[in-house]
Chains A and B, each alone.
Chain A
Amino acid sequence: MKQNQMKAWLYLLPAILFLGVFMVYPLIDVLVYSFEEKYNFVTQTSQGIGLFNYAKVLRDHQFLDAVKNTFLLVIITVPLSTGIALLISLGLNAIKPLRKMFQTIYFLPYVTNTLAVGLVFMVLFKTTDYSSGLINSLLSALGMRQVDFIDGPYWAKMLVLCLYTVWVVMPFKVLILTSALASVDQEYYNAAKMDAASPWRVFRKITLPMISPMIYYLVITGFIGAFKAYSDAVALFGVELGKAGMNTMVGYVYDSLYGDRGGYPSYASAAALILFAIVLTITCINLLISKKRVRY
């Protein structure tokens, strides 16, 4: 028995080692960093413990800009993408021929490199010296004013970022909702047909309650994902997100760590923990609401 115990731990050893070094230790360390004042990356020394880093980060207008961008992105894209995904899934559920084909196409963005396709979006929305770009040509054709969506005004940049984010997150949502819809017991629909219930009534009284756990799952993961937005923005606006005024909270963390304004793991840690606290709070609120509203 004793020998068996040893053997089990031996099998677990690699996993425990890696998780210990690259997950558990960093978790403790990130807390330590965030409270160490004036931590110097080169000499690896600090001058005391306190909330200085948090205060510094919270006063940094770069961080506040990043918070504003992130919140805007979350508030716009989560409801929008979940809503469109629900419509698409309902549509997919209502057809038979070509369904597989549509599902395959809709899933494509999931497997493509976010940065690579981001470049395509940039080309579509950008105006250069040579060309006004496809989107702007369409705008002109419709009699609207042209605007540079990549280097132009803030609202235009935010719009492209939101559009691209929705495009990127859609596959996962459609996939989850289509399988949720497919698993609703057909008996309920047959019963509704007997009662000659209107489609809207069927949707509200049967479909929506039955898939509500999955919708809430998507809203929660959507919130978490959108709060962590970063590479989508990099794909569109390049690495210098701060300069473009399009930085996100995660972007701020990495910028404090690395690059021109880098070398401050303390600020990065404080910012990451603030982000984590926000995400945790919102997830808890979401869970509380869903407990009241969702039937499992």
Chain B
Amino acid sequence: MDKQLNAVTSMDFDRIERRAAARRRTSQTVIYVLLALWALIVLFPFYWMVLTSLKDQAAYNSEKVPVFFTLNPTLQNYVSAFTDEQVNLGRYFLNTVIFTLATTGLMMLVIIPAAFAFARLEFRGKHLVFTLFLSLMMIPNELVIITNYVTITNWHLRNTFTGLILPSVTSVFYIYLLKENFEQIPDELYKAARVDGTTDLEYLVRVMIPISRPTLITITILKVIECWNAYVWPRLITTKSSHFLVSNGIQQIRVSSFGRDNYPAMMAAVVVISLPLIVLFLVFRNKIMEGVSRGGLKG
């Protein structure tokens, strides 16, 4: 009797287990299919831009219904994208690199001392000033950009790199991020350094900056992404193509289409403009995702 019961229960148990496993498998499959579907939606525009950029222009224009592949890839579109008479893509690239490097570099010179003062130095009114700084984080860019536009125009800095760079060399958020990081460095280190006669500045450069390198790298990368994709301010401040950035270039390309609806060349330009950041992302994936989840705002 007992044996029979045991046999029955173990059989039931097996069946339940198997059924549960089957259900798990089905739900896993469904999940994978849905996730793959979203991955397809995300990747498809990238695929399409690379594909179109490799198609011969005449062939592309003769496709009434677009084809999902090409048998005769050509790099000619990349050549035409860079040799267009109206759209000086190479120049815009160089401008964007200069703008990005200068803005990021200057920003570091501004935010590191500020974060150091908040984290390490004692002075009257520190908490008040820091609170005021933090409250500035809530101010949307759209509100201040109007006056900045007028200011830069009055200073005759339109169509100059100075005008492009100046308003974006401070970031309260990055000061805050860096201050938090600096504060984690133990006090003992500072006291020991003071005993050795190290000045504050030396301590900042020789100890704090090297220790905080991971955070500094994260900030640098996030700022580089921001600069590379900047559009609104460059559009307001540049009217001459000599100071266009890649984003302005794209708008110019959109209007001119490289002459006659040359979509393949357009897509070639888009590939070249997108590529640097995609490479940067693939190299620093973890840093970027961690940095953004700590406070990047876009969405």
**Which residues of A pack against B, CB within 8 Å?**
4-5, 7-9, 11-12, 14-16, 18-19, 21-27, 29-30, 33, 41, 81, 84, 87-88, 91-92, 94-95, 98, 102-117, 119-124, 128-134, 137, 167, 169-173, 175-176, 179, 218, 221-222, 224-225, 228, 230-231, 234-235, 238-239, 250, 253-254, 257-258, 265, 268-269, 272-273, 275-276, 279
Contacts and interface: CB of A to CB of B under 8 A. Distances in A.
Contacts, number: 262
Interface string B146-170: 1111110000000000000011011
B81 interface: no
B140 A253 contact: no
B298 to A, nearest CB: 6
Nearest to A124: B48
Contacts of A235: 250
A7 B64 CA distance: 70
B299 A231 contact: no
B142 A110 contact: no
B46 interface: yes
Contacts of B42: 105-106, 108-109, 167, 170
Interface of B: 27-28, 31-32, 34-35, 38-39, 41-43, 45-46, 48-49, 52, 60-66, 109-111, 113-114, 116-118, 121-124, 126, 129, 133, 136, 139-140, 142-151, 166-167, 169-170, 172, 175, 200, 225, 228-229, 231-232, 235-236, 246-247, 250-251, 253-255, 261, 263, 266-267, 270, 273-274, 277-278, 280-282, 285, 288-289, 292-293, 296-299
A156 B117 CA distance: 53
A30 B298 contact: no
B144 A30 contact: yes
Given A14-B113, A130-B64, A238 B254 contact: yes
Contacts of B169: 18
B4 to A, nearest CB: 27
Nearest to B170: A18
Contacts of B28: 94-95
Given A18-B110, A239-B251, A112 B274 contact: yes
30 contacts: A5-B123, A11-B114, A14-B113, A15-B114, A18-B166, A22-B148, A26-B144, A26-B148, A27-B144, A94-B28, A95-B35, A109-B42, A112-B274, A114-B231, A115-B229, A115-B231, A116-B250, A117-B49, A120-B48, A120-B270, A123-B267, A124-B48, A129-B261, A133-B66, A167-B45, A170-B42, A175-B292, A221-B297, A225-B298, A238-B255
Contact of B114 (A5, A12, A129, A234): A12
A191 B219 CA distance: 40
A95 B145 CA distance: 45
A105 B281 contact: no
Most buried by A among B39, B126, B253, B261: B39
B149 A257 contact: yes
B255 A167 contact: no
Contact of B298 (A11, A104, A110): A110
Contacts of B32: 95, 98
**Interface class of chain A by DSSP:** helix
A11 B250 contact: no
A116 B273 contact: yes
Contacts of B149: 257-258, 265
A178 to B, nearest CB: 9
Given A23-B139, A111-B278, A119-B254, A11 B48 contact: no
Contacts of B31: 91, 94-95
Contacts of A231: 231-232
A145 to B, nearest CB: 16
Contacts of B225: 111
Contacts of A84: 38
Given A8-B126, A12-B129, A123-B52, 13 more contacts: A22-B167, A33-B146, A98-B32, A108-B42, A111-B280, A117-B270, A119-B270, A123-B266, A124-B48, A131-B60, A131-B65, A238-B251, A258-B235
B261 A254 contact: no
A26 B65 contact: no
Contacts of A108: 42-43, 46, 278, 281
B293 A176 contact: yes
A103 to B, nearest CB: 8
Nearest to B65: A137
A126 B236 CA distance: 28
Nearest to B68: A134
B299 A30 contact: no
Given A94-B28, A120-B270, A231-B231, A269 B151 contact: no
Contacts of B43: 105, 108
A11 B231 CA distance: 31
Contacts of B114: 11-12, 14-15
Contacts of B246: 113, 116
Nearest to B253: A119
A12 B66 contact: no
A77 to B, nearest CB: 10
6 residue pairs, one from A and one from B, having the closest CB atoms? A26-B147, A172-B299, A8-B123, A26-B144, A15-B114, A11-B117
Nearest to A230: B232
A19 to B, nearest CB: 5
A78 to B, nearest CB: 10
A132 B64 contact: yes
